[in-house]
Structure 1
Amino acid sequence: MSFLAASENTMAFELWPAPMKKEIQRLQGDYDYASWELFPSSLRDMADWADVYQDPERKDKSRDRILIYKHIPDGEPGTVYPVALRLQGLLREFRVERFGNWTGQEADVTRAVQHVTISSGGHAKAWEATIDSLNLACEYVSRRLHLPMQGIPQKKELYLQRRAFIKRDKPRGSKTPALSATQDPEGKYLRIQEHWSAVRPLTIADLTSAGKILPMDAVLLTEGDFVDVGAELDFVLSRQRNKGTTLKCFLTCTHIVRMIPAGYVEKMKLVSFR
């Protein structure tokens, strides 16, 4: 995964207050960054670092453009690697349980998502660098595809989501429960498992005082936690009769790591919403 840049010589995470920066560095570990782990700070560098790939296996042709790494030293030949980013922020609203916001009704399955919102916590420099980096990626894809892009606005919050279910290519063909009673205690998924596959649980972890990253139950997440969130960029072609074809960028959440619990954030006065 890659860390965002604030400039050619400064990473975005270095602009957080010292206690937050320290935890991000503990999460990363003590070693030099590979070139693919350092997000570019200019379009020129982006052109050398990333490429736009059209995935022939994606059935939804409005979402088949992917930003990928150009060079992964230890990558498998012929394999494409989507650009994955590390974002940091204060946890706000979230629904990260297995089925997200699904109502349990089949009619709502296409709208079922896990979602998380992170905020700046009042730390403008780190946050502006984060948004600027995301919009640099948007501008690069826009230029490569020769399509106007609806960028990510300079707001104090970022919203990420993740689909809870994926449509099967063909019916499952079995009435045996696909999930255990522990995974689906209410038996809601049984109603839709014939045609829908439940995505794997979202990875949620805690950075311990010893520097280890250990799995954590989602119920322990609290609004106000300082977190590291994994994100992939989801580019969508939007076709409108009056405006033609435009691009939109959405953020897909891939993991959440709690670095500083909300109580300590408040105790150390690391948040300000002024």
Structure 2
Amino acid sequence: MSFLPSANHPLGADLWTGDLQTIVRNRVPVHGLQQWECFPTSLCHMVEWATVARHPCAPDRRRSHLLVYKTLPVPEPYDAMYPVSVRIYGFLDKFCVGEFGNWNGDSTRAAYAVQSLSLSSMGNTAAWRNQLDRLNLAATFASRVLKVPLPSVQFRHHLHMQRKVFTKRLFDLQESQARHLSPIHDASAQNAHVPRLPEYPWEWNGPLEILEMQQDGNIMPIHEVLLSRGDFVEIDAEFDLVVVRTHATRAHLRVFLTCKQILRLQSARPTQPSGTPMVTTSPTEIRRMRTNQTSENLPSIHPPEPNTLDQVSPSTLQRIRRHSTAFMPINSAPIE
């Protein structure tokens, strides 16, 4: 995974505010970062750092290309490809990251089943804009390499990302059945009401990895029900390049983000419920709490009685009558 740097820090930590700056700085020692872990800051640097390669076994021809590292991060065979992944920081907004995402159990809808989440800045404008600029740099690079135009700026305000729940496999049916045994068993152990998984060629991609950094720095797996809106998280995401071709217009490139991992760095801070009225103290109430003053020294909260009723408007008269009847003794006779 690669970090999105700012002009003055390899992790972009200097642009976050308050304790968030410390949290991001402590993620990894910057002096130990390798070249592939530092995302480019210019198109010129991007050319030397990454490339666009054809997907070796893409089931969807619209997604037939990958943004990959140009320099392999670890010694591997020459034909190995590593898709570029980036670490994105932000606050959880809406999310649906359960084991089966938004899937309702209908096998005919397996292609549309996704886990999804969105991130927001919560007012950290400079840090957020820096991340958007880096992501749009990758989109521009892919567009120029493929010579397919972008219809618009791909990453603007909120960041939305998805992960497919099922993948359409092209391997042998017998191999598919063997691979299905383990996921079904694992899922049933956590949920007794797991729906029947789709048959070949669909394969369940397994649960999304969700982690939390403890106070001592250790990272532990957690269940998705522990996540809350407003959690400060680090997302491991890959670029999803989609070439869209329609009859009405020429081909254009759309760039999406695929979530691979969620790491919670700070839990959402408790806030006052929106329906709870805020407790405010007026100057009159403060004066009433002073025990060294008599009632004669305090200003009256009731308007003075007028000399004649002819000088009072109907609305004022009605208000005065409400005040007078509110303090009427219980055994008093009604005023005729």
TM-score, length of structure 2 as denominator length? 0.73
Count residues in correspondence.
264
Q: 1:247 aligns with which of 244, 248, 253?
A: 253
Deviation string for 1:19-54 (max 9, x for gaps)?
112112323256521111111110000000001111
Which has the larger displacement, 168-177 or 206-215? 168-177
**Within-5 A mapping of 1:226-245:** 226-245=232-251
The alignment status of 1:37 with 2:37, answered yes or no, reads yes
Match of 1:272 in 2: none
Match of 1:115 in 2: 116
Separation in structure 2 between the aligned mates of residue 75 and residue 18 of structure 1, nearest angstrom: 39
Instruction: Give me the identity figure in percent.
Output: 34
Which residue identity is paired with 1:240?
Answer: T
Instruction: Quote the offset at 1:105 in angstroms.
Output: 1.1
Match of 2:189 in 1: 182
- The answer to whether the 8 Å contact 2:10/2:38 transfers is no
Match of 1:14 in 2: 14
Deviation string for 1:237-269 (max 9, x for gaps)?
0002222110000100000011010027x69xx
Match of 2:66 in 1: 66
Which residue identity is paired with 1:87?
Answer: I
Instruction: Quote the offset at 1:184 in angstroms.
Output: 4.8
Unpaired segments ≥5 residues, structure 1 = 268-274
Distance 1:36 1:18, change over 3 A: farther
Which residue identity is paired with 1:6?
Answer: S
Report the secondary structure of 1:93's partner residue: strand
Match of 1:258 in 2: 264
Match of 2:231 in 1: 225
- The answer to whether the 8 Å contact 1:131/1:152 transfers is no
- The answer to whether the 8 Å contact 1:13/1:88 transfers is no
- The answer to whether the 8 Å contact 1:100/1:164 transfers is yes
Match of 1:152 in 2: 154
Answer with 1 or 2: which has the greater Rg.
2
Separation in structure 2 between the aligned mates of residue 9 and residue 26 of structure 1, nearest angstrom: 12
**Within-5 A mapping of 1:162-181:** 162-169=163-170, 170-171=172-173, 172-173=176-177, 178-180=183-185, 181=188
Match of 2:138 in 1: 137
Deviation string for 1:70-119 (max 9, x for gaps)?
11352312211110000000001111111000011122211100001110
Separation in structure 2 between the aligned mates of residue 252 and residue 259 of structure 1, nearest angstrom: 20
Higher share of residues assigned helix: 2
Report the secondary structure of 1:162's partner residue: strand
Unpaired segments ≥5 residues, structure 2 = 273-336
Instruction: Quote the offset at 1:183 in angstroms.
Output: 4.5
Separation in structure 2 between the aligned mates of residue 251 and residue 123 of structure 1, nearest angstrom: 21
Which has the larger displacement, 110-119 or 10-19? 10-19
Report the secondary structure of 1:27's partner residue: coil
Match of 2:26 in 1: 26
Comparing both chains, which one has the higher relative contact order based on Cα–Cα distances under 8 Å and sequence gaps of 6 or more? 1
Instruction: Quote the offset at 1:122 in angstroms.
Output: 1.1
Report the secondary structure of 2:245's partner residue: strand
- The answer to whether the 8 Å contact 1:178/1:193 transfers is no
Instruction: Quote the offset at 1:217 in angstroms.
Output: 1.1
Instruction: Quote the offset at 1:13 in angstroms.
Output: 3.5
Separation in structure 1 between the aligned mates of residue 268 and residue 252 of structure 2, nearest angstrom: 39
**Within-5 A mapping of 1:199-218:** 199-218=205-224
Which has the larger displacement, 141-150 or 81-90? 141-150
Separation in structure 2 between the aligned mates of residue 178 and residue 208 of structure 1, nearest angstrom: 28
Distance 1:126 1:177, change over 3 A: closer
TM-score, length of structure 1 as denominator length? 0.89
Separation in structure 2 between the aligned mates of residue 142 and residue 194 of structure 1, nearest angstrom: 34
